[in-house]
Amino acid sequence: MDVEKIRKDFPILERMVNGKKIAYLDNGATSQKPRQVIDAIVRYYSEYNANVHRGVHKLSEESTVAYEDARRKVAEFINASEEEIIFVKNASEALNLVMYSYGMKNITHTSRITISIAEHHSNFVPWQVLAERKKAKLEFLDVDAEGELVGLENASGSDIISLVHASNVLGTINDAQKICKVARDGGGISIIDGSQSIPHMPIDVKKMGCDFFAFTGHKMLAPTGIGVLYGKKELLEKMEPFLYGGDMIIEVKKEGSKWNNLPYKFEAGTPNIEGAIGLGAAVDYLNKIGMEEIRKHEIELLSYALGKLKDEVTIYGPLDARKRTGLIAFNVAGVHPHDVATILDEDGIEIRSGHHCAQPLHDRLGLESSARASFYLYNTKEEVDRLVEGIRKVKRVFA
């Protein structure tokens, strides 16, 4: 990977903050966008902006082709069929869709739902709500000091097992194949939140064996407001729509309506056409570089960062870069994470601070909040060095 060449594709990386070029280390929240993605969106609005599926004129035909071509690219990217790819606005909507369309019908007061204490709120609250409404039993897997799941085998027999593929706090990569096998062998379904994994490593949903896989586009170079729910065809066909109106309808009479075929049954109204096209362009960009190459780069960068930071801060999660994705949550002794982030921002170093939408995990770790530096394909060792120097500056300020 030629990182310097890659960086030239991202115009925002030339941005100055307080007179200093930014070191953008908040990729776990959202990634930056390459020119190729920006240009694809501009072309759509400049050349063939029109609604999809409904029109027979030239612009509508071109818009529809581009929209469905994006679906094909995403399907190939995760080894799924196109009818199994549902465009949504983000992973939160994808998980809520499964909760409502599958969970409300199939979960009863005798059901078990298993999640972990390490889930993002988007994969925590929906199942909490479902369990409350259906009087079902909600069970939580614990994690050890490195963020590894504890007692996964005890989840066997659960009607739903919904777990994160990679923690957005600890970075820990869970064994998704094992999770899905435990669910399958116990007669339940598996749901994997892949928002923090799909930008960083190859994903094959067939090999993984999951029933549902949710992810968002904006963490993988695509625009905000576009995400994907992958679902096995046989499950999606049995599920009721989540939203009603527009393209999800094939026929409407006074006596009743008929739903469209997959995947359109779950795509009500005018979709985020530009978002899908941007996501397709992002997939093209990632494929050109190669997900294996991106993963290698991040492991190298993580190893370097972990080595530099371990004597400066308290690091949460595994110290082996191969066991985590490209982020490091940490705390500086005696300094609130918001103060750390504020001082780093003075030097153009952009990180995240707070509980990262994973409050139960922070409670489990005995933390109010943490700072988080998250890396991606365009980050460099020089930026890691700037982060380390910035943390030393924080210590001097609070000495």
Angle, alpha carbons 157-161-163 (nearest 5°)? 150
- End-to-end Cα separation, the chain, in angstroms: 40
Nearest-angstrom CA–CA distance, 364 and 118: 9
Amino acid at 112: R
State the amino acid at position 200 in one-letter form. Answer: H
Q: Which of 357, 364, 380, 395 is catalytic?
A: 357
**Token couple for 272:** 């985020």
Q: Which residue has the tokens 């890659």?
A: 6
Whether 357 is catalytic: yes
Spatial distance between the Cα atoms of 40 and 60, rounded to a whole number of angstroms? 16
What angle (nearest 5°) sits at the alpha carbon of residue 175, between those of residues 95 and 160? Answer: 40
Beta bridge partners of 257: 252
Q: Are strands 370-374 and 352-354 parallel, antiparallel or unpaired?
A: antiparallel
Residue 13: C-alpha distances to residues 1, 16, 337, 373 (Å): 18, 8, 24, 16
Q: How many CB atoms lie within 10 A of CB 303?
A: 14
**Three-class secondary structure of residue 328 per DSSP:** strand
Q: By the 8 A CB rule, do 324 and 299 touch?
A: no
* 121 vs 116: CA distance, rounded Å: 11
Contact between residue 389 and residue 305 where contact means Cβ atoms under 8 Å apart: no
Burial 89-107 (b: 16+ CB within 10 A, else e): bbbbbbbbbbbbbbbeebb
223/198 Cα distance (integer angstroms): 15
Residue 54: count of CB within 10 angstroms of its CB = 11
Which 8-state DSSP code applies to residue 327?
E
Give how far Cα 103 sits from Cα of 9, 188, 189, 203, 245, Å. Answer: 42, 12, 10, 25, 21
By annotation, the residues acting in catalysis are 357
